[in-house]
Amino acid sequence: MLAALQTRGTVVRNLQILVVEDDDADALMISEALNSTDAHAAVDRVVDGRDALDYLRGEGAYSTAKRPDLILLDLNMPRMDGRETLAAIKSDDRLKAIPVVILTTSGAAPDIVASYQQRANAYVTKPFGLDDFESTVRQIDRFYREVASLPGGKA
């Protein structure tokens, strides 16, 4: 977690990122955008909230999963949606310090308000064009990698 490297005189962290996204195409675009930067993120993906919680708690098939530095969370997923997942993460003392960015197609005001009320760290509506989508993901990555201070280790 938070491994650092020296790039052009600036310390750049390599992030461990969990992508919670049921759409294969969106997940691929997110992964490609994250790995097109100077510091390649370690990206893991799960397809719904139940798998995300298992991953984050190191349960079942995810017993060796690394704690992520950042979670990119879609809202609209099967089994357990992003709203329920966010609420579960932010109410768990072991997980609530992990930054969660909602990355979703919904730009609906009730979704935005509810996400912030559940303590999302940011809410980003997915752009429609490929270039804009990748640029947006890279900006999220760059902010959390180069600008934000992140909790290290167990919270």
User: 46 with 68: CB under 8 angstroms?
Assistant: no
Mapping DSSP onto H, E and C, the string for 24-46 reads HHHHHHHHHHHCCCCCCCEEEEE
Query: Could you tell me if residue 154 is inside a domain?
Result: no
How far apart CA 8 and CA 111 sit, in angstroms, is 40
pTM: 0.89
Say which residue the tokens 């959390």 belong to: 144
Between 130-142 and 24-34, two packed helices, what is the crossing angle to 10 degrees?
A: 50
Quote the number of domains for the chain: 1
Which structural domain range is residue 88 located in?
3-144
Looking up residue 115, the CATH number of its domain turns out to be: 3.40.50.2300
Q: pLDDT tens for residues 85-126? A: 999 999 999 999 999 999 999 999 999 999 999 999 999 999
Q: pLDDT tens for residues 8-64? A: 445 566 899 999 999 999 999 999 998 877 667 899 999 999 999 999 999 999 999
Query: Could you tell me if residue 60 is inside a domain?
Result: yes
Query: Could you tell me if residue 150 is inside a domain?
Result: no
Query: Could you tell me if residue 152 is inside a domain?
Result: no
Helix (H, G, I), strand (E, B) or coil at 80: coil
